């Protein structure tokens, strides 16, 4: 990957395993949108970013070089060798196809509180509805930021305090029965009873136990938070799509030990390819 600073921002030339469309449709993030053809706008860690695909495998990050290295380089997990991970699936015919179809997927390193609330909302839902619910939540309870370039402003993700103190507003965001789970989780974080930053530093098992002890948080939600928010890359969330894949291609048995240290990346390839194949494929 080559990085070049230009007047408009930072250009990434030939980044390995990087496809914005695949990343933002892979079910791990819900605040990125394609606002024009090949132009994506997203908000992470209270910061707005636009990314434009200029040409085949040539991306413009509309930010300073300092911002790219201080935030976005880590956010997009550019340090990790995804090509090596893809080579490790050799001999597994399903995964060999999956890594070709999802060649540009990366695991985003996202804010743990946002991931906790987002994946609580995700229960028994689908990606378009999750995005809608999250956006409404931000509009009603998040701070509004004016865009310094004169474009449309944006809403920050609500703070634990905002969510903990406004259960009625949360209930009006279309999240259904999950409103009580959101309030409870926010209050645990606000009081310090749940320290998400600390959960980054402990074992995956200890972090999992802490998350699953929360009201309304099950195994799938906990594993998603571990993977996408706490960077425990051995999380292997099993949702409807993953279950379909495991049942059809692995008779319900899949030995994840082969992929110790990056099981979550393998899960993302499975998830993306499963959704690409579509429900009719699994009938």
DSSP string covering 29-40: -SSEEEEETTEE
| 99 falls within a domain | no
How is residue 4 annotated by DSSP?
Answer: E
Are 73 and 177 members of one domain?
no
pLDDT, tens digit (0-9, with 9 covering 90-100), for 236-252? 888 889 999 999 999 98
| CATH number for the domain harbouring residue 175 | 1.10.340.30
Q: Give one DSSP letter per residue of 46-109, joined into a string.
A: TEEEEEEEEETTEEEE-S-HHHIIIIIHHHTTTTS-HHHHHHTTTT-HHHHHHHHHTTT-----
- DSSP 8-state code for residue 242: H
Could you confirm whether 37 is annotated as catalytic?
Answer: no
Tokens of 179: 């409103």
Q: Are residues 119 and 201 located together in one domain of the fold?
A: yes
Same domain, 138 and 219: yes
Of 220, 243, 244, 248, catalytic: 220
pLDDT tens, per residue, the chain with 283 residues: 889 999 999 999 988 899 999 999 999 999 999 999 999 999 999 999 999 999 888 999 999 999 999 999 999 999 999 999 999 999 999 999 999 999 999 999 999 999 999 999 999 889 999 999 999 999 999 999 987 766 678 999 999 999 999 999 999 999 999 999 999 999 999 999 999 999 999 999 999 999 999 999 999 999 999 999 999 998 888 888 999 999 999 998 899 999 999 999 999 999 999 999 998 999 8
3-class state of residue 152 by DSSP: coil
Rounded Cα gap, residues 127 and 224, in angstroms: 14
Interatomic CA distance for residues 151 and 130, integer angstroms:
25
Looking at residue 150, its pLDDT comes to 61
In a domain, 239, yes or no: no
Structural domains counted in the chain = 2
């Amino acid at each position: 990957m080559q990085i070049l600073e230009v007047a408009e921002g930072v250009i990434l030339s030939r980044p390995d395993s990087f496809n914005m469309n695949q990343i933002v449709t892979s079910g791990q993030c819900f605040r990125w949108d394609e606002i024009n053809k090949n132009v994506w706008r997203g908000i992470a860690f209270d910061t707005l970013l636009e990314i434009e695909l200029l040409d085949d495998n040539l991306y413009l990050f509309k930010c300073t070089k300092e911002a790219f290295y201080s935030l976005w380089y880590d956010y997009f997990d550019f340090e990790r060798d995804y090509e090596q991970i893809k080579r490790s699936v050799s001999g597994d015919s399903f995964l060999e196809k999956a890594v070709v179809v999802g060649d540009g997927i990366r695991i985003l390193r996202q804010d743990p509180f946002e991931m906790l609330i987002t994946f609580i909302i995700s229960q028994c839902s689908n990606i378009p509805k999750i995005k809608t619910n999250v956006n409404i939540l931000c509009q009603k309870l998040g701070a509004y930021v004016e865009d310094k370039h004169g474009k449309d402003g944006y809403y920050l993700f609500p703070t634990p305090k905002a969510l903990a103190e406004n259960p009625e507003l949360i209930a009006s965001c279309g999240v259904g029965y999950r409103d009580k789970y959101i309030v409870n989780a926010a209050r645990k974080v606000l009081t310090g009873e749940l320290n998400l930053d600390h959960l980054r530093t402990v074992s995956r098992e200890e972090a999992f136990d802490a998350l699953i002890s929360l009201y309304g948080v099950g195994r799938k939600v906990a594993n998603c938070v571990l993977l996408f928010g706490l960077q425990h890359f051995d999380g292997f969330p099993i949702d409807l799509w993953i279950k379909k894949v495991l049942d059809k291609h692995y008779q319900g048995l899949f030995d994840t030990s082969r992929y110790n240290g990056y099981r979550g990346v393998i899960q993302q390839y499975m998830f993306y390819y499963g959704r690409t194949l579509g429900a009719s494929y699994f009938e």
